[in-house]
Amino acid sequence: MIVMAEGAAVVGMNSGQEGKMSYANNSSFQKAIASATKQARQEMAAALYRSKGRPASMAIANLGCATGPNALLTVTDAVEAVLAECQQSNGSNSNAVELQVFLNDLPGNDFNAVFRLLPTSPLAATGRCLVSAWPGSFYGRIFPEASLDYVVSSSSLHFLSSPPPLYHDNHQLNRGRIYISSGSPEVVLDTYAAQFHADFSAFLRCRSPEMRPGGLLLATFVARRTSCPTAHDCYIWDLLADALMDMAAAGLVDEEQVHAFNAPYYSPSPDDLLRAIDNEGSFSVRTMRLFEITRRHLIITSSNKVDQQEMEEELLPRQLAIETACTIRAVVEPMMRNHFGWADMDALFSRYCLRLEAYYLDKDTRNKDDITNVFLVLEKKQHHNCY
Protein backbone atom coordinates (compact mmCIF):
# COMPACT_ATOMS: atom_id res chain seq x y z
CA MET A 1 0.00 0.00 0.00
CA ILE A 2 1.30 3.41 -0.96
CA VAL A 3 -0.31 6.71 -0.11
CA MET A 4 0.24 9.98 -1.93
CA ALA A 5 0.63 13.42 -0.42
CA GLU A 6 0.02 16.13 -2.96
CA GLY A 7 1.29 13.97 -5.77
CA ALA A 8 4.31 12.56 -3.94
CA ALA A 9 4.24 9.05 -2.56
CA VAL A 10 4.86 9.17 1.18
CA VAL A 11 4.00 5.58 2.04
CA GLY A 12 5.26 2.67 0.00
CA MET A 13 6.40 -0.82 0.84
CA ASN A 14 10.01 -1.81 0.15
CA SER A 15 10.21 -3.12 -3.41
CA GLY A 16 11.68 -6.38 -4.65
CA GLN A 17 15.02 -4.61 -5.18
CA GLU A 18 15.40 -4.41 -1.39
CA GLY A 19 15.74 -8.22 -1.40
CA LYS A 20 16.05 -9.48 2.18
CA MET A 21 14.30 -6.33 3.44
CA SER A 22 11.59 -6.31 0.73
CA TYR A 23 7.92 -6.21 1.64
CA ALA A 24 7.40 -9.37 -0.43
CA ASN A 25 9.78 -11.23 1.91
CA ASN A 26 8.58 -9.54 5.11
CA SER A 27 4.82 -9.69 5.00
CA SER A 28 4.05 -12.93 6.85
CA PHE A 29 2.54 -10.90 9.72
CA GLN A 30 0.13 -9.18 7.32
CA LYS A 31 -0.71 -12.66 6.01
CA ALA A 32 -1.46 -13.85 9.55
CA ILE A 33 -3.77 -10.86 10.04
CA ALA A 34 -5.62 -11.73 6.83
CA SER A 35 -5.93 -15.37 7.91
CA ALA A 36 -7.75 -14.31 11.08
CA THR A 37 -10.72 -13.14 9.01
CA LYS A 38 -10.56 -15.68 6.19
CA GLN A 39 -13.59 -17.74 7.17
CA ALA A 40 -15.82 -14.70 7.71
CA ARG A 41 -14.68 -13.14 4.42
CA GLN A 42 -15.38 -16.34 2.51
CA GLU A 43 -18.82 -16.82 4.07
CA MET A 44 -19.73 -13.25 3.16
CA ALA A 45 -18.51 -13.68 -0.42
CA ALA A 46 -20.62 -16.80 -0.88
CA ALA A 47 -23.65 -15.19 0.79
CA LEU A 48 -23.34 -12.09 -1.39
CA TYR A 49 -23.26 -14.26 -4.52
CA ARG A 50 -26.40 -16.06 -3.32
CA SER A 51 -28.21 -12.87 -2.31
CA LYS A 52 -27.48 -11.31 -5.70
CA GLY A 53 -29.29 -14.26 -7.29
CA ARG A 54 -26.16 -16.06 -8.55
CA PRO A 55 -25.30 -13.48 -11.22
CA ALA A 56 -23.29 -14.20 -14.39
CA SER A 57 -20.45 -12.03 -13.13
CA MET A 58 -19.16 -10.50 -9.92
CA ALA A 59 -16.50 -7.85 -9.37
CA ILE A 60 -14.02 -8.28 -6.52
CA ALA A 61 -11.47 -5.60 -5.65
CA ASN A 62 -8.43 -5.40 -3.39
CA LEU A 63 -7.58 -1.84 -2.31
CA GLY A 64 -3.97 -1.28 -1.34
CA CYS A 65 -2.96 -4.72 -2.62
CA ALA A 66 0.79 -3.99 -2.26
CA THR A 67 3.11 -6.54 -3.85
CA GLY A 68 4.37 -10.04 -3.13
CA PRO A 69 2.19 -13.08 -2.46
CA ASN A 70 -0.26 -11.18 -0.20
CA ALA A 71 -1.49 -9.10 -3.16
CA LEU A 72 -3.58 -12.02 -4.43
CA LEU A 73 -4.39 -13.65 -1.08
CA THR A 74 -7.72 -12.09 -0.09
CA VAL A 75 -9.14 -11.93 -3.63
CA THR A 76 -8.24 -15.60 -4.08
CA ASP A 77 -10.15 -16.40 -0.86
CA ALA A 78 -13.21 -14.61 -2.25
CA VAL A 79 -12.94 -16.21 -5.70
CA GLU A 80 -12.66 -19.69 -4.19
CA ALA A 81 -15.69 -19.11 -1.96
CA VAL A 82 -17.85 -17.88 -4.84
CA LEU A 83 -16.78 -20.70 -7.15
CA ALA A 84 -17.45 -23.30 -4.45
CA GLU A 85 -20.93 -21.83 -3.94
CA CYS A 86 -21.47 -21.73 -7.69
CA GLN A 87 -20.36 -25.33 -8.18
CA GLN A 88 -22.50 -26.54 -5.29
CA SER A 89 -25.63 -25.15 -6.92
CA ASN A 90 -24.80 -25.95 -10.54
CA GLY A 91 -23.44 -29.40 -9.94
CA SER A 92 -20.84 -28.64 -12.58
CA ASN A 93 -18.67 -25.73 -13.58
CA SER A 94 -20.26 -25.36 -16.99
CA ASN A 95 -22.29 -22.24 -16.25
CA ALA A 96 -19.82 -20.79 -13.79
CA VAL A 97 -19.71 -17.15 -12.90
CA GLU A 98 -17.12 -14.81 -14.48
CA LEU A 99 -15.09 -13.11 -11.75
CA GLN A 100 -13.56 -9.70 -12.34
CA VAL A 101 -10.62 -9.17 -10.00
CA PHE A 102 -9.51 -5.55 -9.59
CA LEU A 103 -6.19 -4.82 -7.86
CA ASN A 104 -5.42 -1.33 -6.63
CA ASP A 105 -2.41 0.45 -5.24
CA LEU A 106 -0.49 3.63 -6.03
CA PRO A 107 1.26 4.01 -9.43
CA GLY A 108 4.64 3.40 -7.74
CA ASN A 109 3.63 -0.05 -6.46
CA ASP A 110 5.42 -3.07 -7.95
CA PHE A 111 2.53 -4.40 -10.07
CA ASN A 112 4.95 -6.20 -12.42
CA ALA A 113 5.83 -8.61 -9.62
CA VAL A 114 2.13 -9.29 -9.00
CA PHE A 115 1.41 -9.84 -12.70
CA ARG A 116 4.28 -12.32 -12.94
CA LEU A 117 2.64 -14.43 -10.23
CA LEU A 118 -0.63 -14.53 -12.18
CA PRO A 119 -0.06 -17.23 -14.83
CA THR A 120 0.73 -19.85 -12.16
CA SER A 121 -1.70 -18.48 -9.55
CA PRO A 122 -4.85 -20.18 -8.22
CA LEU A 123 -6.79 -17.35 -9.92
CA ALA A 124 -5.55 -18.41 -13.36
CA ALA A 125 -6.19 -22.06 -12.51
CA THR A 126 -9.91 -21.34 -12.07
CA GLY A 127 -10.19 -20.23 -15.71
CA ARG A 128 -12.94 -17.85 -14.51
CA CYS A 129 -11.03 -14.71 -13.53
CA LEU A 130 -10.28 -11.53 -15.46
CA VAL A 131 -7.61 -9.69 -13.50
CA SER A 132 -6.76 -6.00 -13.79
CA ALA A 133 -4.74 -3.39 -11.93
CA TRP A 134 -6.05 0.12 -11.20
CA PRO A 135 -3.24 2.41 -10.07
CA GLY A 136 -4.09 5.43 -7.93
CA SER A 137 -4.65 6.58 -4.36
CA PHE A 138 -7.77 5.05 -2.80
CA TYR A 139 -8.41 8.43 -1.19
CA GLY A 140 -9.50 9.47 -4.69
CA ARG A 141 -11.70 7.86 -7.38
CA ILE A 142 -10.30 4.67 -8.90
CA PHE A 143 -13.10 2.59 -10.45
CA PRO A 144 -16.03 3.23 -12.79
CA GLU A 145 -19.49 4.00 -11.50
CA ALA A 146 -21.28 1.03 -9.85
CA SER A 147 -18.58 -1.43 -10.85
CA LEU A 148 -17.80 -3.25 -7.57
CA ASP A 149 -19.61 -5.96 -5.60
CA TYR A 150 -17.07 -7.09 -3.02
CA VAL A 151 -14.15 -4.96 -1.88
CA VAL A 152 -11.38 -6.08 0.45
CA SER A 153 -8.61 -4.00 1.97
CA SER A 154 -6.00 -5.58 4.19
CA SER A 155 -3.45 -3.79 6.37
CA SER A 156 -3.77 -0.56 4.37
CA LEU A 157 -6.33 1.82 5.81
CA HIS A 158 -4.17 2.71 8.83
CA PHE A 159 -1.99 4.68 6.39
CA LEU A 160 -2.97 8.33 6.05
CA SER A 161 -2.92 10.25 2.77
CA SER A 162 -0.15 12.43 4.23
CA PRO A 163 1.48 13.15 7.59
CA PRO A 164 -0.76 15.32 9.81
CA PRO A 165 0.19 19.04 9.89
CA LEU A 166 1.90 19.06 13.30
CA TYR A 167 3.63 22.42 13.18
CA HIS A 168 2.56 25.88 14.23
CA ASP A 169 4.42 29.14 13.67
CA ASN A 170 7.40 27.18 12.32
CA HIS A 171 7.42 25.16 15.51
CA GLN A 172 7.17 21.36 15.50
CA LEU A 173 4.44 20.20 17.89
CA ASN A 174 5.47 16.55 18.21
CA ARG A 175 9.08 16.88 19.31
CA GLY A 176 11.05 13.70 19.85
CA ARG A 177 8.07 11.55 18.83
CA ILE A 178 6.98 10.33 15.39
CA TYR A 179 3.40 9.31 16.21
CA ILE A 180 0.94 9.73 19.07
CA SER A 181 2.58 8.77 22.36
CA SER A 182 0.90 8.29 25.71
CA GLY A 183 2.66 11.44 26.92
CA SER A 184 2.13 13.58 23.82
CA PRO A 185 0.23 16.90 23.97
CA GLU A 186 -3.50 16.80 23.22
CA VAL A 187 -3.00 18.65 19.94
CA VAL A 188 -1.06 15.68 18.58
CA LEU A 189 -3.89 13.19 19.14
CA ASP A 190 -6.46 15.72 17.89
CA THR A 191 -4.52 16.50 14.73
CA TYR A 192 -3.96 12.83 13.96
CA ALA A 193 -7.64 12.04 14.60
CA ALA A 194 -8.76 14.91 12.35
CA GLN A 195 -6.51 13.75 9.54
CA PHE A 196 -7.86 10.21 9.84
CA HIS A 197 -11.43 11.49 9.86
CA ALA A 198 -10.85 13.47 6.66
CA ASP A 199 -9.05 10.58 4.94
CA PHE A 200 -11.42 7.81 5.94
CA SER A 201 -14.42 9.96 5.00
CA ALA A 202 -12.84 10.62 1.58
CA PHE A 203 -12.22 6.90 1.19
CA LEU A 204 -15.90 6.10 1.82
CA ARG A 205 -17.12 9.00 -0.32
CA CYS A 206 -15.04 7.74 -3.27
CA ARG A 207 -16.10 4.10 -2.84
CA SER A 208 -19.78 4.98 -2.55
CA PRO A 209 -20.43 5.65 -6.27
CA GLU A 210 -18.09 2.81 -7.27
CA MET A 211 -19.96 0.15 -5.31
CA ARG A 212 -23.21 -1.46 -6.33
CA PRO A 213 -26.10 -1.33 -3.84
CA GLY A 214 -25.81 -4.18 -1.35
CA GLY A 215 -22.10 -4.50 -2.11
CA LEU A 216 -19.70 -5.29 0.72
CA LEU A 217 -16.55 -3.53 1.86
CA LEU A 218 -14.38 -5.72 4.12
CA ALA A 219 -11.40 -3.97 5.65
CA THR A 220 -8.85 -5.08 8.21
CA PHE A 221 -6.33 -2.63 9.64
CA VAL A 222 -4.60 -1.62 12.85
CA ALA A 223 -6.95 -0.07 15.42
CA ARG A 224 -7.22 0.51 19.16
CA ARG A 225 -9.86 -0.28 21.76
CA THR A 226 -10.00 3.01 23.64
CA SER A 227 -10.44 6.66 22.70
CA CYS A 228 -7.26 7.50 24.52
CA PRO A 229 -4.45 5.29 23.20
CA THR A 230 -2.60 3.11 25.71
CA ALA A 231 1.19 3.02 25.89
CA HIS A 232 1.13 -0.37 24.12
CA ASP A 233 -0.96 1.13 21.29
CA CYS A 234 2.03 3.39 20.59
CA TYR A 235 5.08 1.26 21.44
CA ILE A 236 5.98 0.38 17.84
CA TRP A 237 6.41 4.07 16.98
CA ASP A 238 7.64 5.17 20.42
CA LEU A 239 10.59 2.78 20.23
CA LEU A 240 11.34 3.82 16.65
CA ALA A 241 11.30 7.46 17.82
CA ASP A 242 13.68 6.50 20.65
CA ALA A 243 16.00 4.84 18.13
CA LEU A 244 15.91 7.99 16.00
CA MET A 245 16.72 10.16 19.02
CA ASP A 246 19.63 7.81 19.81
CA MET A 247 20.83 8.44 16.27
CA ALA A 248 20.48 12.20 16.82
CA ALA A 249 22.43 11.99 20.11
CA ALA A 250 25.17 10.11 18.26
CA GLY A 251 25.25 12.85 15.63
CA LEU A 252 24.03 10.48 12.91
CA VAL A 253 20.87 12.44 12.17
CA ASP A 254 19.72 16.02 12.62
CA GLU A 255 17.47 16.21 15.69
CA GLU A 256 15.26 18.84 14.03
CA GLN A 257 14.55 16.34 11.27
CA VAL A 258 13.33 13.87 13.89
CA HIS A 259 11.04 16.52 15.39
CA ALA A 260 9.71 17.24 11.89
CA PHE A 261 8.92 13.60 11.05
CA ASN A 262 5.42 12.30 11.75
CA ALA A 263 4.32 8.92 10.49
CA PRO A 264 1.39 9.05 8.03
CA TYR A 265 -0.37 6.42 10.11
CA TYR A 266 -3.27 6.22 12.57
CA SER A 267 -4.88 3.34 14.44
CA PRO A 268 -8.46 4.50 15.00
CA SER A 269 -10.81 3.71 17.85
CA PRO A 270 -14.31 2.33 17.14
CA ASP A 271 -15.65 5.85 17.80
CA ASP A 272 -13.36 7.32 15.14
CA LEU A 273 -14.68 4.78 12.64
CA LEU A 274 -18.35 5.16 13.49
CA ARG A 275 -18.14 8.95 13.30
CA ALA A 276 -16.71 8.86 9.76
CA ILE A 277 -19.09 6.12 8.56
CA ASP A 278 -22.09 7.95 10.00
CA ASN A 279 -20.91 11.26 8.59
CA GLU A 280 -20.49 9.88 5.06
CA GLY A 281 -23.83 8.12 5.23
CA SER A 282 -23.94 5.62 2.38
CA PHE A 283 -22.73 2.53 4.23
CA SER A 284 -24.22 0.55 7.10
CA VAL A 285 -22.04 -1.39 9.53
CA ARG A 286 -22.44 -5.16 9.26
CA THR A 287 -19.48 -6.08 11.45
CA MET A 288 -17.00 -4.18 13.56
CA ARG A 289 -14.85 -6.62 15.44
CA LEU A 290 -11.60 -5.85 17.23
CA PHE A 291 -9.07 -8.63 17.59
CA GLU A 292 -5.50 -9.03 18.73
CA ILE A 293 -2.85 -10.62 16.59
CA THR A 294 0.56 -11.84 17.71
CA ARG A 295 3.41 -13.54 15.97
CA ARG A 296 4.34 -15.61 19.03
CA HIS A 297 2.70 -18.73 17.63
CA LEU A 298 4.39 -18.14 14.26
CA ILE A 299 7.75 -18.33 16.01
CA ILE A 300 7.13 -21.06 18.56
CA THR A 301 6.92 -24.36 16.74
CA SER A 302 4.51 -27.05 17.83
CA SER A 303 7.39 -29.15 19.07
CA ASN A 304 6.50 -31.54 21.87
CA LYS A 305 10.07 -31.74 23.11
CA VAL A 306 10.23 -29.93 26.44
CA ASP A 307 13.87 -28.92 25.90
CA GLN A 308 13.09 -27.28 22.60
CA GLN A 309 10.06 -25.48 24.02
CA GLU A 310 12.21 -24.04 26.81
CA MET A 311 14.88 -22.94 24.40
CA GLU A 312 12.32 -21.25 22.19
CA GLU A 313 10.79 -19.52 25.21
CA GLU A 314 14.25 -18.26 26.13
CA LEU A 315 14.93 -16.94 22.64
CA LEU A 316 11.46 -15.52 22.08
CA PRO A 317 12.05 -11.85 23.02
CA ARG A 318 14.99 -11.64 20.62
CA GLN A 319 13.09 -13.45 17.87
CA LEU A 320 10.05 -11.20 18.30
CA ALA A 321 12.29 -8.13 18.16
CA ILE A 322 13.99 -9.27 14.96
CA GLU A 323 10.74 -10.19 13.22
CA THR A 324 8.96 -7.01 14.31
CA ALA A 325 11.88 -4.83 13.22
CA CYS A 326 11.87 -6.53 9.78
CA THR A 327 8.11 -6.09 9.36
CA ILE A 328 8.23 -2.42 10.34
CA ARG A 329 11.35 -1.77 8.26
CA ALA A 330 9.78 -3.19 5.08
CA VAL A 331 6.86 -0.81 5.60
CA VAL A 332 8.46 2.39 6.90
CA GLU A 333 11.86 2.41 5.19
CA PRO A 334 10.61 4.16 2.02
CA MET A 335 8.90 6.95 3.99
CA MET A 336 11.91 7.43 6.27
CA ARG A 337 14.29 7.42 3.32
CA ASN A 338 12.09 10.07 1.77
CA HIS A 339 12.34 12.27 4.87
CA PHE A 340 15.86 11.57 6.13
CA GLY A 341 17.47 10.73 2.81
CA TRP A 342 19.74 7.95 4.11
CA ALA A 343 20.99 5.27 1.80
CA ASP A 344 21.57 2.76 4.59
CA MET A 345 19.03 2.12 7.34
CA ASP A 346 20.99 -0.59 9.15
CA ALA A 347 22.19 1.72 11.94
CA LEU A 348 18.64 2.83 12.73
CA PHE A 349 17.03 -0.58 12.62
CA SER A 350 19.69 -2.34 14.67
CA ARG A 351 19.07 0.26 17.42
CA TYR A 352 15.33 -0.25 16.98
CA CYS A 353 15.71 -4.00 17.28
CA LEU A 354 17.60 -3.67 20.60
CA ARG A 355 14.86 -1.43 21.99
CA LEU A 356 12.18 -3.87 20.88
CA GLU A 357 14.06 -6.72 22.56
CA ALA A 358 14.26 -4.73 25.81
CA TYR A 359 10.49 -4.18 25.57
CA TYR A 360 9.79 -7.89 25.07
CA LEU A 361 12.15 -8.72 27.98
CA ASP A 362 10.55 -6.24 30.41
CA LYS A 363 8.40 -8.02 32.99
CA ASP A 364 5.40 -5.71 32.36
CA THR A 365 5.42 -6.22 28.61
CA ARG A 366 7.06 -9.65 28.40
CA ASN A 367 6.66 -10.99 24.84
CA LYS A 368 3.72 -8.65 24.40
CA ASP A 369 3.75 -8.07 20.64
CA ASP A 370 -0.03 -8.13 20.29
CA ILE A 371 -1.39 -5.63 17.80
CA THR A 372 -5.06 -4.72 17.83
CA ASN A 373 -6.79 -4.85 14.46
CA VAL A 374 -10.32 -4.08 13.41
CA PHE A 375 -12.31 -6.24 11.02
CA LEU A 376 -14.83 -3.86 9.56
CA VAL A 377 -17.57 -4.94 7.16
CA LEU A 378 -19.69 -2.22 5.59
CA GLU A 379 -22.65 -2.70 3.30
CA LYS A 380 -23.47 -0.19 0.60
CA LYS A 381 -27.02 0.99 1.33
CA GLN A 382 -29.65 0.38 -1.35
CA HIS A 383 -30.65 4.03 -1.32
CA HIS A 384 -28.97 6.88 0.43
CA ASN A 385 -29.14 10.63 0.48
CA CYS A 386 -26.80 12.41 -1.83
CA TYR A 387 -23.86 14.02 -0.16
Q: Is 266 in the site for its own copies (CB under 8 A)?
A: no
Query: Which of 51-73 are b and which e, b meaning 16 or more Cβ less than 10 Å from the residue's Cβ?
Result: eeeeeeebbbbbbbbbbbbbbbb
- Name which of 122 and 136 has its Cβ closer to its own copies: 136
Q: Is 100 in the site for its own copies (CB under 8 A)?
A: yes
The residue within the footprint of its own copies, chosen from 143, 159, 237, 359 (CB under 8 A), is: 143
From 128-136, 235-243, 285-293, 361-369, give the range in contact with its own copies by CB under 8 A.
Answer: 128-136
Identify whether the C-beta of residue 115 lies closer than 8 Å to the C-beta of residue 133.
yes
Choose among 324, 334, 259, 380: nearest CA to 66: 334
Contact code string over 245-264 relative to its own copies, x by CB under 8 A: --------------------
**Least separation in angstroms between CB 209 and its own copies:** 10
Helices (H) and strands (E) in the chain, counts: 12, 11
Q: Is 111 in the site for its own copies (CB under 8 A)?
A: yes
Cα distance between residue 74 and residue 38, in whole Å = 8
Q: Is 132 in the site for its own copies (CB under 8 A)?
A: yes
Q: Is 19 in the site for its own copies (CB under 8 A)?
A: no
Helices 186-210 and 270-280, interaxial angle, to 10°? 40
Radius of gyration of the chain from Cα atoms?
21
Helix H or strand E segment including 290: strand 283-293
* Subset of 50-89 contacting its own copies (CB under 8 A): 56-57
Cα distance between residue 247 and residue 319, in whole Å = 23
The residue within the footprint of its own copies, chosen from 2, 33, 45, 133 (CB under 8 A), is: 133
Cα distance between residue 296 and residue 317, in whole Å = 9
The residue within the footprint of its own copies, chosen from 112, 227, 301, 308 (CB under 8 A), is: 112
From 77-85, 88-96, 114-122, 279-287, give the range in contact with its own copies by CB under 8 A.
Answer: 114-122
The residue within the footprint of its own copies, chosen from 52, 80, 108, 285 (CB under 8 A), is: 108
Cα distance between residue 319 and residue 312, in whole Å = 9
* Subset of 315-344 contacting its own copies (CB under 8 A): none
Burial of residue 255 (number of CB atoms within 10 Å: 0-12, 13-18, 19+) = middle
Q: Is 130 in the site for its own copies (CB under 8 A)?
A: yes
- The residues that touch its own copies, with contacts defined as CB under 8 A, are 7, 56-57, 98, 100, 102, 107-112, 115-116, 118-119, 130-136, 141-145
